[in-house]
């Protein structure tokens, strides 16, 4: 097994109503998250974000003419013990680059690495995701929904 590079991209996907896409991991059903993935050899964070969105959801950013936003936010977090075997033995922390992607909300989601997905209001998504950095990214980069003034 090739050890992973301790650097990843996190992509928070939200729709025009500020509902957030969250996915349930296969290897830990209690772990819900946004799209995330390790940077491959010679890959830049933006390239990883585009690749991971396509791999994990089936959303093709380039063909869909969507705008992936580099949030210019970089987090460091301690690698979970259950995943430590995937990284070099002396590596305890991962560096995470944060991106945001607004979609229409009518995209077909095709899961390849997760058990299920949900579109949730911002506050519910924040309550469900496992990681603090994912929660913070939703809080900071997903806009508040616009209330309908005609109600």
Where residue 81 sits, what CATH number does that domain have?
Answer: 3.90.79.10
Average pLDDT over residues 19-32: 94
β-strands 7-14, 93-102 pairing: parallel
Residue 18 is assigned to a ligand binding site: no
Residue 40 is assigned to a ligand binding site: no
**pLDDT above 90 for 105:** no
Would you place residue 151 in the very low, low, confident or very high pLDDT band (cuts 50, 70, 90)? Answer: low
Q: In whole angstroms, give the CA distance from residue 35 to residue 110.
A: 13
Residue 55 is assigned to a ligand binding site: no
Residue 36 is assigned to a ligand binding site: yes
What is residue 77's predicted lDDT score, i.e. its pLDDT?
A: 95
**Between 53 and 105, the higher pLDDT residue:** 53
Average pLDDT over residues 115-126: 97
**pLDDT above 80 for 150:** no
Q: What is the pTM for the complete model shown?
A: 0.93
CA 11 to chain centre: 3
Residue 103: name the closest of 20, 14, 11 by CA: 14
Joined tokens for residue 21:
């896409």
- The residue segments making up the domain with residue 38 are 7-141
What is residue 106's predicted lDDT score, i.e. its pLDDT?
A: 87
Exposure string for 1-34, b = 16+ CB within 10 A, e = fewer:
eeebbbbbbbbbbbbeebbbbbbbeeeeeebbbb
Q: What is the mean pLDDT of the chain?
A: 94
pLDDT digits (tens, 9 = 90+) for 32-83: 999 999 999 999 999 999 999 999 999 999 988 899 999 999 999 999 998 8
Residue 56 is assigned to a ligand binding site: yes
> Rounded to 10 degrees, what is the CA torsion of 44, 83, 58, 128?
-110
> Does a structural domain hold residue 1?
no
What is residue 91's predicted lDDT score, i.e. its pLDDT?
A: 93
> Does a structural domain hold residue 26?
yes
> Does a structural domain hold residue 147?
no
> Does a structural domain hold residue 113?
yes
> Does a structural domain hold residue 2?
no
DSSP-assigned states of every residue in 67-111: -EEEEEEEEEEEPPGGGGGGS-TT--EEEEEEEEEE--S-PPP--
Residue 57 is assigned to a ligand binding site: no
């Amino acid at each position: 097994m090739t050890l992973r590079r301790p650097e990843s991209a996190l992509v928070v996907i939200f729709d025009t109503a500020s509902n957030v896409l969250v996915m349930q991991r296969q290897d830990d059903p209690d772990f819900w998250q946004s799209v995330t993935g390790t940077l491959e050899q010679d890959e830049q964070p933006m390239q990883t974000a585009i690749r991971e969105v396509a791999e994990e959801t089936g959303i093709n950013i380039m063909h869909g003419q969507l705008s992936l936003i580099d949030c210019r936010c970089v987090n460091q977090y301690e690698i979970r013990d259950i995943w430590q075997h995937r990284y070099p033995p002396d590596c305890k922390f991962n560096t995470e680059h944060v991106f945001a992607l607004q979609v229409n909300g009518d995209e077909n989601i095709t899961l390849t690495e997760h058990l299920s997905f949900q579109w949730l209001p911002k506050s519910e998504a924040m309550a469900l995701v496992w990681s603090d950095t994912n929660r913070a990214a939703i809080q900071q980069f997903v806009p508040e929904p616009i209330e309908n003034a005609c109600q």
